[in-house]
Amino acid sequence: MDFFKRFLASCLGAVVGLGFLFFIILFGLIGISSSSSISNIERSKIEENSVLELNLDVPIRDRGPKTNVLELSLEISPKAVGLNQILGAIIKAKKDDKIKGISLGSDFINAGWAQTQEIRNALKDFKDSGKFIYAYSNYFSQKGYYLASIADSIFMNPLGMIEFKGLSTEILYYDKFQKKYGVKYEVIRKGEYKSAVEPYLQDKMSDENRSQIKKILFTIWETISSEISESRNLSLDDLNFKADNLLVTTSKEALNNKFIDKIVHEDDYKQSIKNVLGILDSNDLNLVDFKTLNSKIKDYDLKVKDRIAIIYAQGTILYVEGNETIIGEELFRETIDELRENENVKAVVLRIDSPGGDPLTSDILWNSIEKLKNNKPIVVSMGNVAASGGYYIACNANKILANPMTITGSIGVWGTLPNLEGISSDIGINAEQVNTHKNSMGYSLFEPLQSGYKNAMERTIDEVYKLFKLRVSEGRTISYEEVENYARGHVWSGKEAKKIGLIDEIGGLQDAIYEASKLAEIENFNIVEYPIIEEDFESIFSEIIPSIQFFNDLKKIKDITDPSSRSKSFENIKTLLPFKVKIK
């Protein structure tokens, strides 16, 4: 027995020792690689006749994840990039005389329509400075072509394909499924446009929902088609006719219809860039990606004390701590309160990309924003979505800017409670309860919704809805009665929202920063980004050790779903966008 104990102890010691040795070697390699990488960056300079290479083939978020030393050292491709990083690169490229143009790759750009337009606007500004933009693609998605249409010249592969068909979205309905299999959702909503719950109540789309979705699609298409029309000098009627009849699908059709300028292979495309720059065939083309350019929205100047803080609020609003992709009560409340006390921060820009979520958290953050506003100006910049709870935390800002293709509004409340009574009965499960009072059970997954509990939920939802409308009324200086006309869960595009007063101006992140500087009456300032999220061991190593990423994801799920980490009372009540609009 002692032999086996010693044997097992030896094995365990060997494993621990090897693991320790592995990390020593790994950190040593990282140190060597990091030193080499940093020295290379320090030695490297932007050469004459350089071209900024924008290959937008990774997911784009408003604020990209922090790049750590390990990623730089091992040259690991990022999981996502930030819109802030892309815009900053374009701005810096415009100002740098050594950078003569941009090579754009936007085949399957993984961004929202609002983000895509912000990139397009930055490219237009770059182009207006007198520098060139060339674009190349093997396959243009519709969104990718919309972005590329700003280029001076568009090139495609001889067997390339292009998507140009107009916009569409699809929503599934589950009423018949629920009746057939005994699974259903008990639904309570406030606002006839609150259609997140509609698929559980009926088997087809309501007229109200169809009307609002159709209006949003046509408003977005109007922006897309008019900008393509202007850039490519094509009539709107002609564009709509081609989209209706799918007349532009191959690179040859795209060339014949003046959607593109040349059909070539990629090496010939790069030769065309060389020709524009006057580079000899034997010399290399100097392509610089935006990470190498090491750009930010505005370079930090240590001599300047005044700052404008950008708070990136991305994801669903939940009563949890929060991180880069979840707007959690603790992290964001503490961030807002910290900025209120920071004397160097003269103004705040709140960049929102959120469909909403938990109403309690939304109101807590609204309160923090209200206190912040008493000390310094706050400007909201809406991204792809700032709806329901996302609009709740925006409505009391000094000024609200949105993209014309932003999805916003959705002032309404809903709640859902899953019920498995039918299917549990069919498979022989019976739930029995013992109660002290008539409604002490509250809610059960295996019993019909009790009238007392349902009435209590309805009263709660009604109170949330009234408070939501009051917040909008006071924040936007619109009468309470008038707010009802724009509420009821109705979803609006940014363009429509401006007409009815839910936002102030059409504009992007850069415009919001400018408005904040005007309100703060400052000209020279640094940009600082929040919230500050500290990286731990798991997040640093998750890129090279998949199991760490897996368990890190499980931990996030546990944090969100753990009952002790959120409100237990009527937790299924949501100020959330009524449907996920995937426009394609």
Give the H or E element holding residue 401: strand 399-402
pLDDT at residue 199, rounded to an integer: 86
Tell whether the model's pLDDT for residue 512 goes beyond 70.
yes
Average pLDDT of span 347-359 = 96
Q: Which residues pair with 162 in a beta bridge?
A: 140
Average pLDDT of span 562-567 = 44
Tell whether the model's pLDDT for residue 7 goes beyond 70.
no
Q: How confident is the model at residue 441 (pLDDT cuts 50, 70, 90)?
A: confident
Between residues 26 and 338, which one has the greater pLDDT?
Answer: 338
* Range 307-576 has CATH code 3.90.226.10: yes
Spatial distance between the Cα atoms of 333 and 432, rounded to a whole number of angstroms: 42
What type of residue is 365? L
Spatial distance between the Cα atoms of 422 and 410, rounded to a whole number of angstroms: 33
Give the H or E element holding residue 345: strand 345-354
Per-residue pLDDT of 380-395, as tens digits, reads 999 999 999 999 999 9
Q: Is 518 within 8 Å of 509 (Cβ atoms)?
A: no
Q: Do domains 46-169+206-293 and 307-576 have the same CATH topology?
A: yes
Per-residue pLDDT of 284-334, as tens digits, reads 888 988 777 754 334 778 889 999 999 999 999 999 999 888 999 999 999
pLDDT at residue 43, rounded to an integer: 39
Least confident of 211-215, 224-228, 287-291, 570-574: 570-574
Tell whether the model's pLDDT for residue 568 goes beyond 60.
no
Q: Is 83 within 8 Å of 63 (Cβ atoms)?
A: yes
Between residues 267 and 535, which one has the greater pLDDT?
Answer: 267
Spatial distance between the Cα atoms of 384 and 353, rounded to a whole number of angstroms: 6
Tell whether the model's pLDDT for residue 560 goes beyond 50.
no
Model confidence, pTM: 0.84
Average pLDDT of span 397-416 = 93
SS3 of 445-462: the string is CCCCCCHHHHHHHHHHHH
Spatial distance between the Cα atoms of 45 and 363, rounded to a whole number of angstroms: 49
Tell whether the model's pLDDT for residue 44 goes beyond 80.
no
Q: How confident is the model at residue 346 (pLDDT cuts 50, 70, 90)?
A: very high
Q: How confident is the model at residue 359 (pLDDT cuts 50, 70, 90)?
A: very high
pLDDT at residue 561, rounded to an integer: 44
Tell whether the model's pLDDT for residue 524 goes beyond 80.
yes
pLDDT at residue 68, rounded to an integer: 53
Residues in the chain: 584
Q: CA 338 → CA 62, 156, 314, distances in Å?
A: 22, 50, 19
pLDDT at residue 94, rounded to an integer: 94
pLDDT at residue 535, rounded to an integer: 60
Q: Is 325 within 8 Å of 354 (Cβ atoms)?
A: no
Element counts in the chain: helices (H) and strands (E): 21, 22
Which fold, 46-169+206-293? Answer: 2-enoyl-CoA Hydratase; Chain A, domain 1 (3.90.226)
Which percentage of the chain shows pLDDT scores above 90?
58
pLDDT at residue 418, rounded to an integer: 87
Q: Is 392 within 8 Å of 356 (Cβ atoms)?
A: yes
Least confident of 198-207, 389-398, 537-546: 537-546
Tell whether the model's pLDDT for residue 554 goes beyond 60.
no
Q: What is the mean pLDDT of the chain?
A: 84
Average pLDDT of span 78-94 = 88
Q: How confident is the model at residue 569 (pLDDT cuts 50, 70, 90)?
A: very low
Per-residue pLDDT of 141-158, as tens digits, reads 999 999 999 999 999 999
Spatial distance between the Cα atoms of 86 and 81, rounded to a whole number of angstroms: 8
pLDDT at residue 544, rounded to an integer: 47
The domains of the chain are located at 46-169+206-293, 307-576
What type of residue is 505? E
Phi-psi category of 302—alpha, beta or left, where left has phi over 0 and alpha has psi -120 to 50? alpha
